[in-house]
A and B are shown apart, each in its own frame.
Chain A
Amino acid sequence: MSGEVLVVLPVVLPLLVAGALVLVRGATRGGSPALARWAGVVTTGAVGVVAGALLATTLGGEVPAVRVGGWAPGIAIALAADVFSSAVLLAVSLVVLAGLVHARGTGEDRAPALVPLVLVMAAGVHGALLTADLFNLFVFVELMLVPSYVLLLLGRRRTKRRLAAARLYVSVNLLASTVFLVGVGLVYAATGTVALGELAQGEPTPARQAAVWLLLLSMGAKCAAVPLHGWLSRSYAVAGPAVVAIFSGLLTKTGVVVLVRLDALLVPEGSAVPAVVLVVGLVTAVVGVLLAVGEHDVTAVLVAHMVSQVGYLLTGLGLATTAGTAAVVVFLVQYVLVKAALLMVAGALETRYGTGRLDDLGSLAHREPVLAAAFALSAAALVGLPPTSGFVGKLGLVTAAGEDGRWVTAAVLVAVSLLTLVSMLKLWDRVFWGPAEAAPALAMAPSGSGAADDADPGRTAGVTPQAPAGRAGAGRPDAGPDAGAGSGPGPGSARAPGADGSGSDAAGSDVAGGRGGHRERVALVGPPLVLGALALVAGVGGEALLVVGAAAAQGLADPSAWVAAVTGGAP
């Protein structure tokens, strides 16, 4: 019984809280940001606890399932959790939690719609993870996408470029969703059911498999597999920093999760699907990492790597072995956290210094030791260096490829890892490395004073004079909006009176007020550090990850327990 409640909660709870928040906001004319903030964090935390409980239950061999309202199988909205969905659910809720906290630091949560929208989006993702019905999968994916259309530009100034990116994003996803819907219709026409449990038991007729190809194609577009990746970097580039971090954990990964699920249930032995997925995965990994070479902005580099890492996941899926699937699960769970941490570092840099351009940053390791540590940990995990969690994931993938005799695949994966390392070193070198004296370039950043926060005022004082006066923040009358939205006077103004001379900055920003205190600073740099540390812990304790991965892969390779649970016990 309790298992049933647990399965429903991740979907229902965020939706209820989101609805309540919107109501409260309507009733109180604007509502209280603190209330929304805490409601979001508590709700997501609760989902995380539920996910943990589900993981414990499913690892014990149970498959908690529920048909909402007690309707007959095939008609009811069926939800079920196995090890795979529980593990991903846990990782996703951690990312959302960290993202919501981070949004406090970047000031994005001043938009009152942020928390409700993120909660609805999370509910959609949770539903897509747990559903056992093809059409409900479509609905949950839409439930995830519709808030993301709004979140993309939430609180951002609507320039032409941004709106064009939003148009691209909506169009691509609408097209992919239409293809998915057509696929669902064809599956229903071919088989007379859209319940995944019944489909898994049914005969894989050519008509049905044609429809399944359509479904896979649609999800390929949603998870940004090459050649359907073009929308990703263009649209993510315009979103707010915390929003990008949340997107990275939720949107493309849901595409991958759905692919894994459909592959396990609807693709029979001897199908051409794994071979195609393998090739697409390898191409995606290579193209993604090469895309990153040409980028000169921290976030843009990281988003390009997102494409590359999706390639890893698809490659593991394309191996079509249990070991490969286990590696995919391990990789996915840790990668979601790592990429979110990296994007949050980029977001914190953008918030502090008003830019993510590599040319404008440098030598930050002294000023931002916390961010530097978070970046180092998570970048190592992204590359796959021991002892981080990325190593466990990549080792699993390469080993699985090797065990299968696919040496080319293994070699490509290692080579892409090396290129990822080069790319991360580039970021490290351009953003964090270098002597502190080489940092004057940063005084040009709008937050000449904001840069003072972690350092003692004396250092800032020592640095600023080296910058030409015309470039210092306070020296430009036109810099008002610029500096304000970029990073504001920064925490320094609240604490260090000496740094508070930039009156024009403060005047130009209504933004700065929400970012002045100690809490915001913690909210800004805390989440990436925690996630980065988590990557280290998960790497050192990689055994647990491997156990979860193996159990999840077992459940996916032989879905009979899952099928029995969702079809109401009928074997």
Chain B
Amino acid sequence: MTTALLVAVLAAGGTALVLQRGPLRLVIGFVLLGHVGTVLVLASGGGDRRGVPLLGQGPEDVPLGDPLPQAFVLTAVVIAFAITVHLLGVLRAEESAAEDDEEDADVEVEQERRARSRRAEQGADGPSRAREVAADEAGTPAPGDDGTGAS
């Protein structure tokens, strides 16, 4: 019962946070949702069996815990942690990418100007595409890849 409530509260909180604006809330929301998985999988081994899952290591009268979900959770936690860190890295990069925007904007403006003059008569289609292209063309390979560390 406690576990069920815990899962419910975590899931509700996580969902609410993910749905809100703000990058950090997204990450914390996903941390909570990750915990939902963790607690739920742990509980799937039976909440009342709490003994150390090693033969001959724990007290005799306590039923052994199910080691399989514990192994699952260990794996899942590592994966969730890695992805969370990567997500934080992306968000961080997104914030600092603001500084490049001026240069981006110059390229974009130039590109759009050229694009517009080029197809003055059929300019119906969105400038956002032109911006994409501009961004592509302005792309220089990033120095190193700060994402790899997270994985």
Q: Which residues of A contact B (CB under 8 A)?
A: 75, 110-111, 113, 117, 135, 138-139, 142, 146-147, 149-150, 153-164, 166-167, 170-171, 174-175, 177-178, 181-182, 184-186, 188-189, 194, 237, 296-297, 350, 354-357, 359-360, 441, 444, 446, 471, 478, 481-486, 510-511
22 contacts between A and B (CB under 8 A): A111-B141, A139-B75, A142-B79, A150-B86, A156-B141, A166-B90, A167-B23, A170-B87, A171-B26, A175-B18, A182-B36, A182-B40, A189-B40, A189-B43, A350-B136, A355-B137, A482-B134, A485-B136, A485-B137, A486-B136, A510-B140, A511-B140
Is B57 an interface residue, CB under 8 A from the partner?
A: no
Bound state CA distance, A150 and B82, in angstroms?
12
A441 and B118 contact, Cβ closer than 8 Å, known pairs A160-B101, A485-B138: yes
Of B94, B106, B133, the residue contacting A163 (CB under 8 A) is B94
Give the CA-CA distance A87 to B94 in the complex, in Å.
41
**B20 CB–A CB distance under 8 Å:** no
- Check A159/B104 contact, CB under 8 A, given A146-B82, A167-B23, A186-B44: yes
Asked if B129 contacts A357 (CB within 8 A), the reply is yes
Q: Do the beta carbons of A164 and B94 come within 8 Å of each other?
A: yes
Among B43, B106, B118, B145, the residue within 8 A (CB) of A444 is B118
Enumerate chain B residues within 8 angstroms of A296, measured Cβ to Cβ.
125, 129
Cβ of A484: which chain B residues have Cβ within 8 Å of it? 140
Known: A117-B148, A481-B107. 14 other contacts (CB 8 A): A146-B86, A153-B142, A155-B141, A156-B139, A175-B18, A296-B125, A354-B136, A354-B137, A355-B133, A357-B133, A444-B114, A482-B111, A485-B139, A511-B141
B101 and A171 contacting across the interface, CB-CB below 8 Å: no
B142 to chain A: which residues have CB within 8 Å? 153, 155-158
Closest B residue by C-beta to A241: B136
Q: Provided the pairs A150-B151, A174-B83, A186-B40 are in contact, do residues A159 and B100 lie with their beta carbons within 8 angstroms?
A: yes
Q: Is the Cβ of B125 less than 8 Å from the Cβ of A110? A: no
* Complex alpha-carbon distance, A118 and B115, angstroms: 36
Question: 1/0 per position for B120-146, CB-CB distance to A under 8 A?
Answer: 001001000111111111111110010
Number of chain B residues whose Cβ lies closer than 8 Å to a Cβ of chain A: 62
Is the CB–CB distance between B86 and A160 below 8 Å? no
Confirm or deny: B97 has a beta carbon within 8 angstroms of a beta carbon on chain A: yes
Selected contact of B97 from candidates A158, A184, A471, CB within 8 Å: A158
Question: A391 CB to closest chain B CB, in angstroms?
Answer: 33
- The 9 A-B pairs at the shortest CB distance, nearest first, are namely A189-B44, A185-B41, A157-B139, A181-B37, A163-B94, A150-B147, A486-B137, A188-B44, A185-B40
Q: Which of A149, A160, A188 contacts B94 (CB 8 A)?
A: A160
The residues of A that contact B141 with a CB separation of less than 8 Å are 110-111, 155-157, 485, 511
A154 and B30 contact, Cβ closer than 8 Å, known pairs A188-B68, A297-B132: no
CA distance in complex: A350, B132 (Å): 12
Whole-angstrom distance between the alpha carbons of A471 and B131 in the complex? 18
With a cutoff of 8 Å between Cβ atoms, the chain B residues found around residue A170 in the complex are 83, 86-87, 90
CA distance A360 to B122 in the complex (A): 12
How many whole Å from A396's CB to the nearest CB in chain B?
37
Q: Which of A138, A139, A147, A170: most chain B Cβ within 10 A?
A: A170
Complex Cα–Cα for A147 and B18 (A): 23
A244 to B98, CA, bound (A): 26
Please, how many angstroms separate the alpha-carbon atoms of A544 and B10 in the complex? 52
Which of chain A's residues have a CB closer than 8 A to the CB of B80? 174, 178
Provide the residues of chain B in CB contact with A161, threshold 8 Å. Answer: 131-132, 135
- Expressed in whole angstroms, the minimum distance between the Cβ of B13 and any Cβ of chain A is 14
Instruction: Please state if A181 and B76 are interface contacts (CB–CB under 8 Å).
Output: yes
Contacts known (A159-B104, A485-B140, A511-B141); A171 close to B79, Cβ less than 8 A? no
| Cα-based distance from A436 to B39 in the complex (angstroms) | 65
How close is B93's CB to chain A, nearest CB, in angstroms? 5
B119 → chain A closest CB, angstroms: 6
Pick from A150, A158, A185: contact of B44, CB under 8 Å: A185
Q: How far is the CA of A178 from the CA of B80 in the complex (A)?
A: 9
Distance between Cα atoms of A203 and B100 in the complex (Å) = 58
A148: nearest chain-B partner, CB-CB:
B151
Measured CB to CB, the closest approach of chain B to A16, in angstroms, equals 17
A113 to B148, CA, bound (A): 8
Would you call A162 and B135 a contact (CB within 8 A)? yes
Contacts of B36 in A (CB 8 A): 178, 182
- When the two chains form their complex, are residues A113 and B40 in contact, meaning their CB atoms are under 8 A apart? no
Expressed in whole angstroms, the minimum distance between the Cβ of A135 and any Cβ of chain B is 5
Residues 28 to 50 of chain B near chain A (Cβ within 8 Å)? 30, 33-34, 36-37, 40-41, 43-45
Q: How far is the CA of A138 from the CA of B83 in the complex (A)?
A: 14
Q: Which residue on A lies nearest to B92, using beta carbons? A: A163
Cα A380 to Cα B74 with chains together (Å): 48
